[in-house]
Amino acid sequence: MKFNIKINGKAEVVDVDGNTPLLWVIRDVLDLKGTKFGCGKAACGACTLHVDKVAIRSCSYPVKFADGKEITTIEGLSQGGELHPVQQAWKEEIVPQCGYCQPGFMMATAALLERIPHPTNEDIDNNIVNVCRCATYYRMRKAIHRAAEIKSGSNS
């Protein structure tokens, strides 16, 4: 079955089974490898991306629900050659260790900052519940606050 999706601003038509997880359409059909497979049951968050600007766990999101919607992956987070504030902050705070889960964390953080521009530690705890086996949580927390600063232009 054919589905029309706009991915990182580009219109695409994919011909797959409607129950195929969006993650596998993105990785295997559209060849965008930035979004990662972690647990396959929407638990760890490594596969997080945006569907119509909402953070979604793509490993458990059937592609049929993405029909006609706009999807943003880690590859589409920066615009016009400029790093997204989240990417810039991640770089400044040297957040990643192995790095595997980081795209999911960054996409979740980008969605958070759109809704809560200056999150408190409690906001971060409640909204960013992805899993990092390297335990980079401490650096991530600093990077999220830093990203909020950069995004608001208060300390860039």
Partner 1 sequence: MKKAYLIIPMLLLFVAMVSKVDSFANNDWATSGLDESKTIKSEDSNEKKSEDDVEESHKAFDRMMEVLTHKRCVNCHPAGDAPLQGEDSHVHHFGVKGGEDGHGVPALSCNSCHQVENNDLAGIPGAPDWHLAPISMAWEGLSRVEIAQSMTDPERNGGKNIHQIEEHLTEHALVLWAFDPGVDSEGTPREVPPVSKEDYIAAVKKWVETGAHIPAE
CB of 57 to partner 1, least distance (A): 5
Nearer to partner 1, 46 or 112 (CB): 112
CB of 100 to partner 1, least distance (A): 18
Closest CA to 153 of 117, 106, 103: 117
CB of 15 to partner 1, least distance (A): 19
Please count the CA atoms within 13 angstroms of the CA of 123 that sit on its side-chain side.
Answer: 15
C-alpha 79, offset from chain centre? 15
Query: What is the DSSP code string of 68-124?
Result: T-EEE-GGGSSBTTBPPHHHHHHHHTT--SS-TTHHHHHHHHHHHHHH-SS--HHHH
* Residues 16 and 83 sit within 8 Å (Cβ to Cβ): no
Nearer to partner 1, 80 or 106 (CB): 106
Show the tokens assigned to 83: 């790093």
Nearer to partner 1, 126 or 152 (CB): 126
Nearer to partner 1, 35 or 109 (CB): 109
CB of 134 to partner 1, least distance (A): 17
Nearer to partner 1, 5 or 111 (CB): 111
CB of 156 to partner 1, least distance (A): 22
CA dihedral 43, 146, 32, 7 (to 10 degrees): 90
Residues that bind partner 1 (CB under 8 A): 19, 21, 40-43, 48, 54-57, 59-62, 65, 108-109, 111-112, 114-116, 123, 125-129, 131
